[in-house]
Amino acid sequence: MPIVIDLVEPTTFQQHPPRTLPPLLVPNLLGEYLLERPWRSYLDPLLISCVVVGLAMAFVQVGAWFWLLLALVAVLRLVAVSWRLAQRVYEDVLLVRHGRVMQAHVLRLRPARNPQGHLSGAFLDCAIPVGPRQTSVGSVWFPDQAQAEALAQRGQLPVLCLVRPPGTWRLLDDTNPALRYEPDGSR
């Protein structure tokens, strides 16, 4: 997950929402999200199948309708990937533009386990009171358990929170590129 807070000047969050955005925020976010995943993850079985079928169709010399169908499948796949990327970037832009600086209360610290069952960092479960009778709850994963324990001892953490659901939020300090946020506290 890109560190959205690092893409904006720290003084920006001292302004009241809606904030003015830096001109390169959206391209930087797009680049960060694209580089977040390895390039081979973009070559899914559907896209590889389209390329293989396209090569086979070139040798067999099929009609234009088959080419149109293949192009439609490939375009729909690219639209689906682009749609997910656009949603994530849009959510981060809303967070920077309309997010409120608040204090998150640390509910508990719990160890995180990798798929093999070994300890792998820690989760901090947090509650953010965003309004009357409205609380946003989520978790943040730290790869360093000692860092998570030190933050849990503080009890409260400054966060940038989007008040509307799904309650997107980011830590304002002690950020780390390996942090992962879970909106409902589950993993």
Tell me the per-residue pLDDT of 147-157, one tens digit each, with 9 for 90 and over.
888 888 888 88
Residue 3's pLDDT is 65
What is the rounded CA–CA span in Å between residue 83 and residue 142? 28
Q: By percentage, how much of the chain surpasses pLDDT 90?
A: 0
What is the rounded CA–CA span in Å between residue 55 and residue 159? 51
Mean pLDDT calculated for residue range 165-179:
65
6-15, 40-49, 117-126: which is most confident? 117-126
Alpha-carbon separation of residue 152 from 123, 145, 156 (angstroms): 10, 10, 8
Tell me the per-residue pLDDT of 57-101, one tens digit each, with 9 for 90 and over.
778 877 777 878 888 888 888 888 888 888 888 888 888 888 888
